[in-house]
A and B are shown apart, each in its own frame.
Chain A
């Protein structure tokens, strides 16, 4: 059973306090939304969970093992996958190669052809199977987003953090991503989804974290969080009405 615990995370950049005492726990295949205004520290939090940044203080445990001291690839191997806010496909590699990388990286003795079938399945699931031999740079922005999601399926982590998966995508692509999240979640993977798209995040997530300039001001059922006066004042108020 997945357990991810972040304890009292602080992060400073020079003098700027970007995260202030952020603690939360993820248990089992939860589907969590993470919202907050621009510059609230969402991406920074992701980077800390993923090992790309070290917290100024605080710890992160995954299934009882401390992961904040590990490099990002160690965290990925421990079972945490993430996407980037700005899509980061391996542009001069084919779509298929993009997918093979995480699969190969996870298993030291595997060979490429062991995963070709799985990669094909993932591509078909994401509706980009016809592009498998194209270079990733030839893909449209939305297709590159799908490719990033596909890489995570190949990595097969226990928990996935998506940094703004819905930004700049057409409604039709949105459906694909939506389905990706719900189906993958149903298979037992936990999700943290960062988004500025309130409607989607409220319908999709079953738990909501709200960051406001470094403070975790709410954590709970979306319907409850929505009514929280603190959240209203800090965030939703200025965004919705």
Chain B
């Protein structure tokens, strides 16, 4: 970076005014006997946006802090952030090269869709069982492992779809068994302090599954072949200016380039998402599931068996994680530990989207995918940037928990 100082000062400005706004605004609103549930968060983003120029009017006029106001403020903050970055490092690919930016955006969205799918599983579990599964990353890992072993080792040559299906079945079954043995007793009051129990026991499951896989597969990284290589094609036929496909890559308009594995993974994720939506909104069982997530007692009265809904939700959540893993095993190299950062990312996403909110999880996945793409693509010092990538999400997580624990779409706690 050439003028790193500009960026540093902009960041400092955002953080300091944001902190001041977050701390002072609720006090002022409280003194005026106004609604303060949004004041801390709203004050923080409004302060971060324009510093004293927005905070003073806010404190004098104390308008009702609406979501619209917050949205505008967030947009300004992001704008300042981007502008400062562009000023600080005008030669950066992200600033100078439009094609590169669009490529990064496209890749961010593509990977964000898969993150979203995995987080959907977690949020589905939370909305029905009220439990955050700390073993979610291990289901993701197992999904990938099963797919790899079937398509590369046990049944080479079989259609990757079969392998993916098998990984869904395996993760669904493990999830089902675990739920039956370890989580079902929570509902019957047999287990005291269920929240703590659920945290610890899913944690134990993560530990178990990870070492179990490691004992079976050893710790050598594996990576599956491309599932569905593109056909070679060019549009228009001679120049390929509109669309150019090679087995490993697709380039649109000569600018946006998406690797084949990511593309197929995203398509798989979208298909699965469509199937999930159809299931939740069009089938009786799906409707029952949503009814339980809204009001357990009421649903139980109408004849839905909440216990079997729990089993179903947990195993489906596990299966969604497994499916994300299965579609990504051709993108990343796979180890028994790959689940840990993936799970951490899902935590970030569901907290950001609002715990238990399905659209929130999907949107959160897109946001995190974009942020990561920007992080990898734009930060000059590559090794350092790579080491910090898990931290970006965690910074989002801690900030959301401190400022707005309900996330984007969460219900009141």
Contacts and interface: CB of A to CB of B under 8 A. Distances in A.
A226 to B, nearest CB: 35
A12 B33 CA distance: 11
A112 interface: no
A133 interface: no
B195 to A, nearest CB: 15
Contacts of A57: 33
Interface residues of A, number: 4
Interface string B23-36: 00000001001010
A63 interface: no
Task: Tell me whether chain B's interface is mostly helix, strand or loop, or mixed.
Answer: loop
Contacts of B35: 12, 56
B20 to A, nearest CB: 22
A12 B64 CA distance: 15
A2 B118 CA distance: 60
Interface in B1-58: 30, 33, 35
Interface string A145-172: 0000000000000000000000000000
Contacts of B30: 54
Contacts of A56: 33, 35
A12 B35 CA distance: 9
Contacts of A54: 30
Contacts of A12: 35
A56 B33 CA distance: 6
Interface in A11-52: 12
A96 B33 CA distance: 42
A171 B35 CA distance: 45
A14 to B, nearest CB: 8
A56 B30 CA distance: 9
A56 B35 CA distance: 7
Nearest to B30: A54
Interface of A: 12, 54, 56-57
Closest 5 CB pairs of A and B: A57-B33, A56-B33, A54-B30, A56-B35, A12-B35
5 contacts: A12-B35, A54-B30, A56-B33, A56-B35, A57-B33
